[in-house]
Amino acid sequence: MAAINDLINQIDNPELQARIQAEVDRMNKQKKFGLVFEEHLPECTPLYDIPIKQGSTVARKTGKVSENYVVLKIEEDTVICMPKGSKDEVKIPLTDLVAVAEFGEAIYPCLRPVDTICNAPDSELWHTLIEADNYHALQLLEYLYAGKVDCIYIDPPYNTGAKDWKYNNDYVDNNDAYRHSKWLSMMQKRLRIAKKLLNSKDSVLIVTIDEKEYLHLGCLLEEMFPEARLQMISSVINPKGNRRDNEFSRCEEYIFFIYVGNAYIISNGSDMLRDAIKDDNVEQKDRSVRLRALLRQASNHGKRTDRPNLFYPLIFKKDTGEFLGPGPVPNIEEDRNTYEPPEGTVAMWPIGSNGTELTWNLQPETLMAKQRQHFLSFGKWNGKGRTGYYLSESQENNFNNGMYDIVGQDEDGAYIIELKSSLDKDIRPLTIWHKKSHSASEYGTMLLNGFFHDRRFSFPKSLYAVKDTLRFFVANKPNALIIDFFAGSGTTQHAVNLLNAEDGGHRRCIMVTNNEVSVDEAKSLTKQGYHPGDPEWEKLGIARYVTWPRTVCSIEGHDVNGNPLKGNYLGSDISMADGFKSNVAYFKLGFLDKTSVALGRQFKEMLPTLWMKAGSYGPCPEQDGDEIPAMLVLPENKLAILTEESAFPDFQAKVNAQPEIQTVFIVTDYEAGYRAMAKNLNASNTYQLYRDYLDNFRINTGRN
């Protein structure tokens, strides 16, 4: 570094010298080990529905969205602006420019209704499709559902080197030396918010990928989810293989599963398992249930310094080894050897074979709860202690679901349990999936062609591969919330509807996709004089040309020409022509003016956002005209909104008379008044508008 600094000092231009020095300093702060990649220029998002005005940040529609200008003046159809980083004014036609949202800039998103399909008017369940850049959509979803999502399934661009994805509105191809780090930078930003959406107690993140980025993705996921369990499986999606010149033909892709909290695989009764495992030698004659060890290993954040509240003694009778209970948890600074157990007893601490102070897997109160449930067991007494075991959370769920037989009790009263004999075939899925119905060609491309009769979308996932993948984690969650923010052709929502139809569930799916057109379509439209944002351009984008038509057709049971779909869904008697009893609302992400929101002028524009935050029950309410009502009490949507504090007595009476109301929004700047009003309402959730909304979206790069 000394040599580099000497060279920098030889630069005559002070401004250039300072800029290079700043970049070198930034590089020095980057980590030297683990996954190291370039932090690229922040992403910018074109906002085609935002009017351009003085002071706006804009970009050329046909140029790089990261090359920004600041609008100085607008003279009729001409914009006088200044490139950022320059002092030279330029004149650009107004029609050639688009407003831009820069990464880190505070944005205030809203949902603008585009369309709906209601094929189940008696159902309060509504899915949603959001047309948007998924980064800004994730920011909105964080406001709506932080910590509430059960499953995120994403199929991001694979970065194959073909023109299959963009960074800052530019295609990234094989000629880009930084394409891997750009891809990682893009994924990191989105996964950082996605992590905040997941339920920390029990949820799963599922990411599909191929060989181009699976190594990088695995490292990124390990860094971003250190507290979770991570597993990768191989899934055969092209049994015939995809020919690669002078290489082996590729037939599989990979799926990463990030198990958050107590997430576990629900495998009992899975047709996928029975079909995938046909080896008669894989016969599970041993039906014993192997309990989880009570001692946590150091490699699993198991040292005393990691979790001091899990470091405590277990007390046993000295003569018989009978377990008496846990001892007190000492302070982290306290030497364990100063503890003296009661007379006639022995204290056993969680100590590793090399003398390291470890921890137990359970807190004292949880340990005793397990004992009361007969789920805590110990090995033989050796005069100093006994090895402890317990029924894990997933095993306890299996027990409660009737999957185990109690065949006796040990000397401590713990149940001796075995897998029910009728469930001998209940084995965990293998890490290699090879199932005919997972063929992307037959049950992805060909299935989709049945809706459109042309190839509108390249490489869609097999519907049944996605359904099987989701089912492992939401089969016992009939009300699960599932998000796909790389929705593509809409396979995930289709799979969720099929799952619900098979078992009567009410799982809700939120899809997010942009509205990009294909490379060939972009060239053709440009030659015709059209630009992004023009109706002729937008109607051919993926959201409007693929995702939404597939959603409508699959629910109503017909192709894009109105002809009934043929056949049944695999493995069921569900006719494709019957469609699904399902409802979906389609929105486009827009942006609001902060001042207008604070003054309550954009109440109508806020309604869809409030509807989603309240759980998306029933059809999304609409507000006619610009007049703002003093209150809205909407039992069918399980929400109520108060905009005039003076109307609170009447509002309180109406809300408390409607037990269906679960969520209430109160518009007030007076926090003490808000608390007083909220206290008198029989609602599970209350929010202070518009403060709650505005505070959430004061976004900067440091936060996300």
**The CATH number of the domain where 73 resides is what?**
2.30.30.30
User: Has residue 3 got a pLDDT over 90?
Assistant: no
The two three-digit tokens of residue 182, written as one number:
């750009």
Instruction: Kindly state whether residue 648 falls inside one of the protein's structural domains.
Output: yes
User: For residues 317 and 345, is the Cβ–Cβ distance under 8 A?
Assistant: yes
Q: Which residue has the higher pLDDT, 592 or 188?
A: 188
User: Has residue 41 got a pLDDT over 60?
Assistant: no
Co-location of 409 and 277 in the same domain: no
Q: What angle do CA 565, 566, 571 make, to 5 degrees?
A: 115
User: Has residue 337 got a pLDDT over 90?
Assistant: yes
Instruction: Kindly state whether residue 545 falls inside one of the protein's structural domains.
Output: yes
Instruction: Kindly state whether residue 192 falls inside one of the protein's structural domains.
Output: yes
Q: Which domain holds residue 53?
A: 46-102
Which pLDDT score, from 0 to 100, does residue 483 have? 98
Which pLDDT score, from 0 to 100, does residue 389 have? 94
- We report the CATH number of the domain holding residue 186 as 3.40.50.150
User: Has residue 543 got a pLDDT over 60?
Assistant: yes
Co-location of 416 and 443 in the same domain: no
Which pLDDT score, from 0 to 100, does residue 658 have? 95
State phi, psi for 192 to the nearest 5 degrees.
-60, -40
Which pLDDT score, from 0 to 100, does residue 588 have? 95
User: Has residue 169 got a pLDDT over 70?
Assistant: no
Instruction: Kindly state whether residue 3 falls inside one of the protein's structural domains.
Output: no
What's 263's DSSP letter? -
Domain boundary among 420, 450, 474: 420
Q: Which residues contact 14 (CB under 8 A, 6 or more apart)?
A: none
Confidence of residue 390 (pLDDT cuts 50, 70, 90): very high
Confidence of residue 299 (pLDDT cuts 50, 70, 90): low
User: For residues 126 and 91, is the Cβ–Cβ distance under 8 A?
Assistant: no
Domain boundary among 553, 586, 619: 586
Co-location of 456 and 573 in the same domain: yes
Instruction: Kindly state whether residue 300 falls inside one of the protein's structural domains.
Output: yes
Co-location of 582 and 506 in the same domain: yes
Co-location of 176 and 86 in the same domain: no
Instruction: Kindly state whether residue 322 falls inside one of the protein's structural domains.
Output: yes
State phi, psi for 498 to the nearest 5 degrees.
-65, -40
The CA R_g of the chain, rounded to the nearest whole Å, is 29
Which pLDDT score, from 0 to 100, does residue 401 have? 79
Co-location of 240 and 356 in the same domain: no
User: For residues 587 and 121, is the Cβ–Cβ distance under 8 A?
Assistant: no
- Domain count for the chain, please give it: 4
Q: Which of 104-118, 412-426, 462-476, 550-564 has the lowest mean pLDDT?
A: 412-426
Co-location of 133 and 95 in the same domain: no
User: Has residue 701 got a pLDDT over 50?
Assistant: no
Co-location of 604 and 683 in the same domain: yes
Buried b / exposed e over 54-78, threshold 16 CB at 10 Å, is eebbbbbbeeebbebbebeebeeee
Co-location of 239 and 165 in the same domain: yes
Domain boundary among 71, 102, 133: 102
Co-location of 221 and 126 in the same domain: yes
Confidence of residue 300 (pLDDT cuts 50, 70, 90): low
Rounded to two decimals, the pTM is 0.73
Instruction: Kindly state whether residue 138 falls inside one of the protein's structural domains.
Output: yes
Mean pLDDT of 26-48: 65
Co-location of 91 and 232 in the same domain: no
Co-location of 220 and 351 in the same domain: no
